[in-house]
């Protein structure tokens, strides 16, 4: 792909003209308003979606911002600053995406510039993998150049012009690359410059992006088209009928794991492509495995892929490919919802219940909800697929029947049996990660040459050091979280041991307790600092699991997958090794629970089904239920029978019981009753305001004033909003920042929206503290 820069590098500067174009610019730096600027004639036209460089603030520091409007009424022209430069040759954001950005900025209470910044991958903004090449061509036509040739004195200069003439380099399109020319003529660039100064030749520059495929050729597979079963046929008919209306609508494709949902996405996309339209498929990052990508790539020719396993130049290549209209199917993680695709007919969100669709930094958008909005803005259809629908989507199917429609796939494709689920009461095996029954089963699986996946919950909550007698738990001194034991820590220096613990006695092991929020470390004391009894580790950490497995099964190859041990590309490599049988046991965080299709996996162990139940969050039941159900679908994906071990201390909790019975309807009924009684989503909407500062007194004052301001607006505008707080966040301190929260509950999002639009217009709270607003939060931690 090549972008042309039209202006010649050595052209004399135009005299500056008085500017009379005004544009509005939104900055990525986080100010929640836009600014107007004059555009000098030589930089005009500027198009909405292009980035410009402008002086900003009192110091006139150069900042880059997005042009968001171009027909601004020239009122206070005399006060406006001029833009200094135009960054992009083509707009990065088209009008459709600009509209979406404005909606996100509005709905998620986030500065427009921040939203726009998040829409374009960093690799694109930085031009990763792009090379600037200088090109040379003649400034005159064939006849004139003959005459000019006679007048040129320099031998090399003459040679250069002849060479260009022979190559027919009369236009930018036929220009010769400068380096090639210099080689050909065997000279330095001095004679070239001389010719350019005399305006006999022109030197232009163009940006060349090396084309990098996201999938190596050898990895492409062939796939035969399967014959749909009756459930699939009905579901597909239903979806196609709705696609054919050419109107916006949402289908919830509620189908158990392996019911053939992915096959239906592919058929629906086929249908859309036949109509000359395009499609986006969103998957949780972790489900974007080689296998999934191969499946889509085998069926679609012009596919672009966007996920974090790609290198920056690859990401740029993929994005440019979409932008250039060379892809009609985009498959990617959350941010692929912003793919610069045009003419969209379908957006698919697989695993729509997955909380990782919510971004945890500004803009705090939900990928699924933005997908629905984007589909609405381009009158496209949206398919939400899952085996465990979110309560929000179920509720939408109940209350917005004109838009949301539910289609079910109740059976597994090959009518494979669901794996056997076995609950293990861990009270019988308190000091082990893998209970005796699980260990025994692992041994059998390995003996048969089959494979196993073992899951631990989120690392930060799953591992702590605690005193069984006085219940004292080691906490971080900077953050209000428990410390996690790590046997080896890169860069660990004993001299930097923190002093907040009275360390008595010898050290249990050479290792350290690490805070996963701020990274601070301390040695682990053998005795409890409070009561001097021996401390133990409720060690559910992935590191310990890996060790225990290696000890119990010295001949098996065990791989650990968690965010400590790997970045994107490593993760993809481990999965590949696992699928090729080079690894027998895969142990990792719950990111492994989804999207994996490994026929040889006959055992899945959930090391602790309880960890999310301990979280003081209103969604903890839902998460627990989803985890167990997802896992149930991972084992036994072939004729071989699968078994799932669910280890728990709280086995009689309803969420666990319903999940073991695969009773989704029963779970939903009970959970919805609870949510309704507590005015929680999906019935009411939430907004979470987190204020943070290092000085608690200042934070407390700011939070109190913030609350008062909210109360005033709620009273003045008669808004039906319940306000709770300020109260300490569940994690009340992170990286020495204290955190207070205010929680807002309202029966309708529009009511919350009114509050925030008034808040945004009013002056900021003093003393100034950092405020993060999270609309429709997925957790309240």
Taking alpha carbons only, the member of 374, 404, 386, 381 closest to residue 268 is: 381
DSSP 8-state secondary structure symbol assigned to residue 318: H
Binding mask 182-221 for ligand ADP (x = CB under 6 A): ----------------------------------------
Is 630 near ligand ADP (CB under 6 A)? no
User: In the complex with Zn ion, which residue's Cβ is closer, 174 or 770?
Assistant: 770
CB 702 within 8 A of CB 757: no
Q: Is 426 in the site for ligand ADP (CB under 6 A)?
A: no
Q: Angle of helix 664-677 relative to helix 391-399, nearest 10 degrees?
A: 80
State both tokens at 709: 């301001």
Stretch that binds ligand ADP, among 88-96, 97-105, 223-231, 531-539 (CB under 6 A): 223-231
DSSP-derived letter for residue 6 is: -
* CB nearer ligand ADP, residue 297 or residue 462: 297
Could you tell me the two tokens for 131?
């090379």
3-state per-residue secondary structure call for 226-246? CCCCHHHHHHHHHHHHHHHCC
Nearest approach in angstroms of CB 332 to ligand ADP is 17
Return the one option of ligand ADP, Zn ion, none that residue 543 interacts with (CB less than 5 to 8 A, by type).
none
Query: For residues 773 and 756, is the Cβ–Cβ distance under 8 A?
Result: yes
| Residue 263 binds which of Zn ion, ligand ADP, none (CB < 5-8 A, kind-dependent) | ligand ADP
**Secondary structure class of 502 (helix, strand, coil):** coil
Q: Does 226 participate in binding ligand ADP (rule CB under 6 A)?
A: yes
Candidates 258, 285, 548, 776: give the one binding ligand ADP (CB under 6 A). 258
Residues in region 362-421 near ligand ADP by CB under 6 A: 413
Calculate ∠ Cα 245-382-212, nearest 5°.
120
β-bridge pairing 737-746 and 685-693: antiparallel
> Which residue number, 163 or 294, has a Cβ lying nearer to ligand ADP?
294
CA distance 167 to 154: 20
Binder of residue 518, out of Zn ion, ligand ADP, none (CB less than 5 to 8 A by kind): Zn ion
Is the Cβ of residue 476 or residue 721 nearer to Zn ion in the bound state? 476
Least CB distance to Zn ion at residue 739 (A) = 12
479 binds, among Zn ion, ligand ADP, none (CB under 5 to 8 A by kind): Zn ion
229 contributes a contact to ligand ADP by CB under 6 A: yes
CB of 236 or CB of 515, closer to Zn ion: 515
In our burial notation (b when 16+ CB lie closer than 10 A, e otherwise), range 397-427 reads beeeeeebbbbebebbbeebebbebebbebe
Structure tokens at 245: 């209306």
Q: List the end-to-end C-alpha distance of the chain, in Å, as a whole number.
A: 45
Interface with ligand ADP includes 262 (CB under 6 A)? yes
Which residue pairs, CB below 8 angstroms and at least 24 apart, start in 299-303?
Answer: 299/223, 299/266, 299/270, 300/269, 300/273, 300/328, 300/329, 302/326, 302/327, 302/328, 302/329, 303/327, 303/329, 303/330, 303/331
**Which CB atom, from 140 or from 500, has the smaller least distance to Zn ion?**
500
Nearer to Zn ion, 96 or 460 (CB): 460
CB nearer to Zn ion: pick between 213 and 728: 728
| Residue 262 interacts with which of ligand ADP, Zn ion, none, CB < 5 to 8 Å by class | ligand ADP
Task: Rank residues 215 and 518 by Cβ distance to Zn ion and give the closer one.
Answer: 518
314 binds, among Zn ion, ligand ADP, none (CB under 5 to 8 A by kind): none
Q: Tell me, rounded to whole angstroms, the distance of Cα 695 from its chain centroid.
A: 32
- How many residues at the interface with ligand ADP, by CB under 6 A? 14
Judged by beta carbon distances under 5 to 8 A according to partner kind, the member of ligand ADP, Zn ion, none in contact with residue 478 is Zn ion
The option from Zn ion, ligand ADP, none interacting with 228 (CB < 5 to 8 A, set by class) reads ligand ADP
Q: How far is the CB of 136 from ligand ADP (least distance, A)?
A: 54
CB atoms within 10 A of CB 479: 23
Q: Could you say which of ligand ADP, Zn ion, none residue 476 binds, taking C-beta under 5 to 8 angstroms by partner kind? A: Zn ion
Distance CA 542, CA 176 (A): 57
**Closest CB to Zn ion belongs to which residue?**
515
Whose Cβ is closer to ligand ADP: residue 204's or residue 286's?
286
Shortest Å distance, C-beta 366 to ligand ADP:
22
| Number of Cβ atoms within 10 Å of the Cβ of 718 | 7
Work out what residue 13 binds among Zn ion, ligand ADP, none; the CB cut-off runs from 5 to 8 Å by kind: none
257 belongs to the binding site for ligand ADP (CB under 6 A): yes
Q: Which does 226 bind (CB under 5 to 8 A by kind): ligand ADP, Zn ion, none?
A: ligand ADP
Going by DSSP bridges, is the β-strand pair 507-514/484-486 parallel, antiparallel, or unpaired? Answer: antiparallel
Question: In whole angstroms, what is the distance from residue 10 CA to residue 381 CA?
Answer: 51
Strands 344-350, 278-282: pairing is parallel
Q: Which stretch binds ligand ADP (CB under 6 A): 179-187, 228-236, 421-429, 759-767?
A: 228-236
CB neighbour list of residue 136: distance below 8 Å, 6 or more residues apart: 160, 164, 169, 175, 176, 177, 178, 181, 192, 201, 202, 203, 204
Q: Which is nearer to ligand ADP, 232 or 335 (CB)?
A: 232
Q: Which residues contact 279 (CB under 8 A, 6 or more apart)?
A: 268, 269, 272, 273, 328, 329, 330, 344, 345, 346, 347, 348
In the bound complex, what is the minimum distance in angstroms from residue 257's beta carbon to ligand ADP?
Answer: 5
- What token pair was written down for 58? 């009192």
Residue with tokens 């794996």: 419
CA neighbours closer than 13 Å in the CB half-sphere of residue 263: 20
CB of 414 to ligand ADP, least distance (A): 6
How far is residue 313's CA from residue 706's CA, in Å, rounded to a whole number?
44
Q: Is residue 227 near ligand ADP by the rule CB under 6 A?
A: yes
Residue that the structure tokens 């042309």 belong to: 4
Contact residues: Zn ion, CB under 5 A: 476, 478-479, 515, 517-518
- Least distance CB 328 / ligand ADP (angstroms): 21
Interface with ligand ADP, residue 232, by CB under 6 A = yes
By beta-carbon proximity to ligand ADP, the closer residue of 12 and 410 is 410
Give the separation between CA 261 and CA 568, rounded to whole angstroms.
26
Burial class of 60 by CB neighbour count within 10 A (0 to 12, 13 to 18, 19+): exposed
In the complex, the smallest distance separating the C-beta of residue 264 from ligand ADP, rounded to whole angstroms, is 7
**255, 367, 725, 726: which one binds ligand ADP (CB under 6 A):** 255
Tell whether residue 261 is a contact of ligand ADP (CB under 6 A). yes
Closest CB 2 distance from ligand ADP, rounded Å: 39
- The residue among 553 and 598 lying less far from ligand ADP, judged by its C-beta, is 598
User: In the range 567-626, which residues lie near ligand ADP by CB under 6 A?
Assistant: none
List 50, 105, 251, 259, residue binding ligand ADP (CB under 6 A): 259
Smallest distance from Zn ion to CB 472, Å: 17
By the rule CB under 6 A, 228 interacts with ligand ADP? yes
* Residues binding ligand ADP (CB under 6 A): 226-229, 232, 255, 257-263, 413
């Amino acid at each position: 792909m090549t972008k042309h820069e039209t202006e010649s590098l050595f052209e004399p500067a135009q005299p500056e003209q008085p500017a009379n174009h005004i544009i509005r610019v939104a900055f990525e730096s986080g100010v929640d308003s836009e600014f107007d600027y004059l555009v000098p004639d030589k930089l005009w036209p500027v198009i909405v979606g292009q980035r410009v460089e402008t002086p900003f603030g009192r110091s006139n520091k150069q900042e880059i911002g997005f042009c968001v409007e171009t027909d601004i009424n020239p009122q206070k022209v005399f006060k406006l600053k001029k833009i200094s430069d135009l960054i992009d040759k083509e707009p990065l954001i088209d009008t459709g995406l600009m509209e979406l950005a404005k909606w996100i900025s509005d709905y998620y209470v986030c500065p427009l510039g921040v939203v726009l910044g998040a829409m374009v991958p960093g690799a694109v903004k930085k031009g990763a993998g792009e090379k600037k090449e200088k090109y040379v061509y003649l400034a005159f036509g064939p006849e004139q150049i003959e005459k000019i040739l006679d007048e040129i004195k320099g031998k090399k200069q003459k040679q250069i012009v002849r060479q260009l003439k022979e190559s027919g380099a009369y236009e930018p399109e036929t220009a010769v690359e400068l380096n090639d020319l210099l080689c050909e003529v065997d000279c330095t660039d001095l004679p070239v410059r001389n010719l350019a100064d005399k305006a006999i030749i022109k030197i232009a520059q163009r940006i060349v992006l090396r084309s990098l495929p996201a999938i190596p050729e050898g990895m492409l597979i062939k796939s035969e088209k399967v014959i749909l079963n009756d459930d699939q046929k009905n579901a597909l008919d239903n979806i196609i009928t709705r696609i054919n209306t050419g109107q916006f609508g949402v289908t919830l494709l509620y189908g158990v794991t392996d019911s053939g949902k992915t096959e239906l996405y592919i058929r629906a996309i086929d249908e859309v492509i036949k109509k000359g339209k395009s499609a986006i498929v969103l998957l949780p990052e972790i489900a974007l495995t080689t296998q999934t990508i191969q499946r889509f790539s085998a069926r679609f020719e012009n596919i672009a892929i966007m996920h974090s396993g790609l290198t920056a130049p690859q990401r740029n290549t993929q994005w440019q490919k979409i932008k250039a209209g060379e892809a009609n199917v985009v498959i990617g993680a959350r941010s692929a919802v912003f793919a610069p695709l045009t003419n969209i007919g379908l957006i698919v969100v697989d695993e729509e219940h997955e909380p990782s669709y919510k971004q945890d930094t500004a803009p705090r958008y939900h990928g699924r909800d933005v997908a629905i909005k984007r589909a609405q803005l381009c009158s496209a259809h949206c398919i939400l697929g899952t085996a465990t629908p979110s309560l929000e989507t179920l509720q939408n199917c109940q209350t917005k029947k004109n838009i949301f429609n539910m289609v079910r796939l109740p059976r597994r494709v090959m009518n494979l049996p669901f794996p056997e689920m076995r609950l293990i009461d861990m009270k019988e095996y308190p000091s082990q990660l893998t209970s005796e029954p699980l260990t025994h089963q692992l041994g059998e699986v390995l003996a048969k040459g089959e494979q196993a996946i073992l899951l631990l919950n989120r690392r930060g909550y799953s591992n702590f050091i605690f005193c069984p007698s006085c219940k004292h738990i080691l906490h971080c001194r900077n953050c209000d979280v428990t410390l996690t034991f790590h046997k080896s820590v890169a860069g660990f220096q004993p001299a930097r041991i923190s002093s907040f613990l009275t360390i008595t006695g010898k050290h249990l092991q050479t290792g350290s307790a690490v805070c996963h929020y701020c990274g601070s470390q301390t040695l682990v004391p053998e005795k409890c600092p409070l009561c001097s009894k021996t401390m133990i580790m409720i060690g559910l950490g992935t590191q310990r699991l890996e060790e225990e497995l290696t000890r119990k099964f010295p001949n098996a190859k065990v791989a650990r997958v968690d965010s400590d041990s790997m970045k994107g590309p490593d993760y993809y490599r481990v999965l590949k090794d696992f699928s090729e049988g080079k690894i027998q046991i895969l142990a990792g965080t719950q990111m492994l629970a989804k999207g994996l299709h490994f026929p040889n996996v006959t055992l899945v162990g959930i090391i602790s089904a309880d960890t999310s139940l301990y979280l003081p969050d209103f969604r903890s039941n839902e998460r627990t239920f989803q985890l167990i159900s997802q896992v149930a679908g991972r084992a036994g994906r072939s004729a071989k029978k699968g078994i799932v071990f669910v280890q728990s201390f709280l086995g009689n909790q309803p969420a666990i019981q319903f999940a073991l019975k695969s009773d989704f309807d029963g779970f939903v009924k009970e959970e919805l009753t609870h949510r309704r009684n507590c005015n929680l989503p999906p019935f009411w909407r939430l907004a979470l305001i987190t204020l943070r500062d290092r000085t608690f007194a200042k934070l407390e004052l700011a939070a109190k004033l913030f609350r008062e301001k909210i109360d005033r607006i709620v009273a003045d505008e008669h808004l039906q909003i319940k306000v709770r707080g300020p109260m300490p966040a569940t994690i009340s301190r992170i990286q020495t920042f204290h955190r207070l929260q205010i929680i807002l509950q309202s029966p309708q999002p529009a009511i919350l929206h009114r509050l925030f639009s008034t808040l945004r217009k009013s002056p900021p709270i003093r003393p100034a503290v950092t405020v993060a607003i999270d609309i429709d939060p997925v957790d309240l931690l």
